[in-house]
Structures are given as C-alpha cells and as structure tokens.
Amino acid sequence: MSSETEHATETADGAVSEVGHDEFVSSEAEHTTESSDGIVREIGHDEFEPVGTLLLVLIYFVIIGVMWAFMYFIEFLGNGPTVV
C-alpha cells in the first residue's frame, strides 16, 4: 500500500530517513531500469545543507531585480507619451 510511504514517519525521529530509503534502494540498487536512481549515498535531514540552491536563488533574485528596474524605469517610463 503506497499510503505506507507517506505514513512511515510514525516511528522514532532518527528512523525517518531509513524507512523511506530502504524501500526503494533495495529493490533498485542492482537494476539499470528507468526506476534506478543512481544513489551512491544517503543524506539525511540533519546533514543536508542546500547551499547550491541558495546560490541559485540569490542569482535569480539579482537578475529579477535588475530586469525589473530596467523594464520599469527605462523601457516603460521611456516609452513615449504615457497616460497621466
């Protein structure tokens, strides 16, 4: 029953990551089928720091900020007669 994968979190805190993982690592580790996920190590909740994500969203923030300023102040306000 797939509902188990969603509710396997009732056990003790530390066991959370293992329960979910055991289920699919063991069935797919030897296959090279579509469902093989290429996992070489497990990273649990406490060990994971999404540094790459932070950098990417910061870059996005800068791009959006600059583009907005450009669009509003140059493209828009510089675009000929405006409704006043």
Partner 1 sequence: MGVFVNDYPDEAFIVRAALTSSFVALAIGGLMGIIQTLHRTGFYDSLISNADYYTVLTLHGVAMVLLFTIFFLVGFFQWAVTDSLGRSSEDIRITKLWYAMMVLGAGMSAVTILGGFVDAGSLSGVDADVLYTFYAPLEAHPLYYIGLATFIIGTWIAGFDWFRSWWAWKRENPDERTPLRTFMVLTTMLMWYLASLGVAISVVFFLIPWSLGIFESVNSLLTRTLFWFFGHPVVYFWLMPVYMMWYVILPKLAGGRLFSDPLARIVFVLFLVLSVPTGIHHQYVDPGIAEGFKFLAMTNTMFLLLPSFLTAFTVVASIEHGARQRGGKGYFSWLTALPWGRPAFTGMTLAGLMFAAAGFSGMINAGMSINYLVHNTLWVVGHFHMTVGTAVALSIMAATYWFLPIITGREIFSRRLGLAQVLMWFVGMVFMGNAMHRAGLAGVPRRTADPTYSQFDYTNTFGAVTELRFQIALGAVFLTTSLLLFFAHLVLSSFDIGERAAATPDSIPTPLSGPEHAPAVLDNIRLWTSVAIVLILLTYILPIASIVSDGGFLGSYGAIVVDQIAALLSPVLDTGGGVIG
Partner 2 sequence: MEIHKYEKFWFGLSLLLIVGFIGTITYGAVGAGVQMVSDSGGTVEPSFSSINDHEKFAQQEDNRAVPVEGEEDKYEVGVVAQRFIFQPGTNNPIEVPEGSEVTFYITSPDVIHGFSVVGTNANTMVIPGQIAEITVEFDELEGDERKEYGLVCHEFCGAGHENMAGKIQVLPEEAWNSGGDA
Binding site for partner 1 (CB under 8 A): 1-10, 16-17, 19-21, 23-24, 27-28, 31, 33-35, 37-45, 48, 50-53, 55-57, 60, 64, 67-68, 71-72, 75-76, 79, 82-83
Using an 8 Å Cβ cutoff, are 35 and 28 in contact? yes
For 7-80, where are the E strands, in sequence order?
none
From 10-18, 20-28, 30-38, 69-77, give the range in contact with partner 2 by CB under 8 A: 69-77
Considering only residues 32 to 51 of the shown chain, the ones binding partner 2 according to CB under 8 A are 49-51
Q: How many residues does the chain have?
A: 84
Locate tokens 């979190």: which residue?
Answer: 9
